[in-house]
Amino acid sequence: MTTTTTTAARARRFVNFGGTSLLLAWASFGVCAQTVPLGSAAGFGVIAGAAVTNTGPSVIFGDLGLSPNNASSVTGFTFSTPPGPGQVIGNTHFADGVALTAKNDALVAYNTLAGRACNATITGDLGGRTLTPGVYCSASTMGLTGTLTLDAQGNRDAVFIFQVGSALTTASASQVRMINSGQTCNVFWQIGSSATLGTGSSFAGNILASSSVTLTTGTSNSGRVIGFNGAVTLDSSNVTTCSGSVVPGAGSGAGAAVPTMSTWSLLASMIMLMGAALVALRRQACVAAQQRSI
């Protein structure tokens, strides 16, 4: 009798432990910010409403879009009139349906970002901080002097959202650094007016600004740069769609994102493992009971 009770108790403890683990796992999924799809804007490095101007050997790794203005508002690139040194490693869309759709999709993302509940209010400068996944907000401006570290805590799908009431400004040589398996694809800057990245800044994340975005001399950004109503200005700057995204024009080969196990698949696997263990425990209890009856 003692053996049967002990084995049954083990089974109950396993079930209780498994149920608690499932609840904790589900809760951990729920507290993290969820990523925001960019739709057709995902393949664009730069989208602007009024103009895209460039000085120096800038490179955009991704498509370039302008809407509603046309190609005459794009200057400083190899295809411009007159031509300039800037390059686009992707397609260009000016005042066409593709650019308009991408801009509208980005606007949906902007509004979604603005509607996310704030987890922590930012006061003071972002420099010197290490932040974990979540939604960070400021009713007015945000500034960055030095280095901001984003710690994904080993979660490749970790999401960081910054809601900026008015302007975002970085000092010269500022840096946004991602650590512990995160992707710059999952960093979003929702900006109420304009963004200005200081000389030599190394920035990360998708910049969605209501007005304009200025990348000063020697800046780089791993993420899209979108100025809905104003201009995007580059000066010997590099813009890439972001780490972990699909390279424009690529299929399922080297440029594609690596698939990961979904939340539901992970939970299903956990339940199957728990069920198998429970069956094994019950089988042991039955064998023990049969041995005592002999």
In the sheet with 147-151, reading across from the earlier edge strand, the strands are: 87-89, 59-61, 238-240, 220-222, 202-204, 175-179, 147-151, 130-131
DSSP string, 193-229: S-EEEPTT-EEESEEEESS-EEE-TT-EEES-EEESS
Would you give per-residue pLDDT tens digits along the chain (294 residues)?
Answer: 444 444 444 444 433 444 444 333 333 333 456 789 999 999 999 999 999 999 999 999 999 999 999 999 999 999 999 999 999 999 999 999 999 999 999 999 999 999 999 999 999 999 999 999 999 999 999 999 999 999 999 999 999 999 999 999 999 999 999 999 999 999 999 999 999 999 999 999 999 999 999 999 999 999 999 999 999 999 999 999 975 543 343 322 323 333 334 444 445 555 555 655 554 555 555 445 444 444
The pair of structure tokens assigned to 291 is 């041995």
d(CA 147, CA 151): 13
What are the respective helix, strand and coil percentages of the chain, to the nearest 5?
Answer: 30, 30, 40
Burial class (CB in 10 A: 0-12, 13-18, 19+), 55: middle
Please tell me the predicted confidence (pLDDT) of residue 281: 55
The pair of structure tokens assigned to 52 is 């895209």
Burial class (CB in 10 A: 0-12, 13-18, 19+), 180: middle
Residue 50: its H or E element: none
Residue 270 burial (CB count, 10 A): 14
d(CA 28, CA 19): 14
d(CA 75, CA 84): 7
Contacts of 284 (CB under 8 A, 6+ apart): 7
Please tell me the predicted confidence (pLDDT) of residue 34: 73
In the sheet with 206-209, reading across from the earlier edge strand, the strands are: 92-94, 63-66, 44-48, 225-227, 206-209, 187-191, 160-164, 134-138, 120-121
The pair of structure tokens assigned to 248 is 């424009």
pTM of the model: 0.74
Please tell me the predicted confidence (pLDDT) of residue 245: 46
Q: Which residues pair with 144 in a beta bridge?
A: 170
Please tell me the predicted confidence (pLDDT) of residue 242: 78
Whether 239 contacts 220, CB under 8 Å: yes
DSSP string, 84-121: -SBEEES-EEESSHHHHHHHHHHHHHHHHHHTSPPSEE
C-alpha to C-alpha distances, 92 to 38, 48, 176, nearest whole angstrom? 18, 12, 28
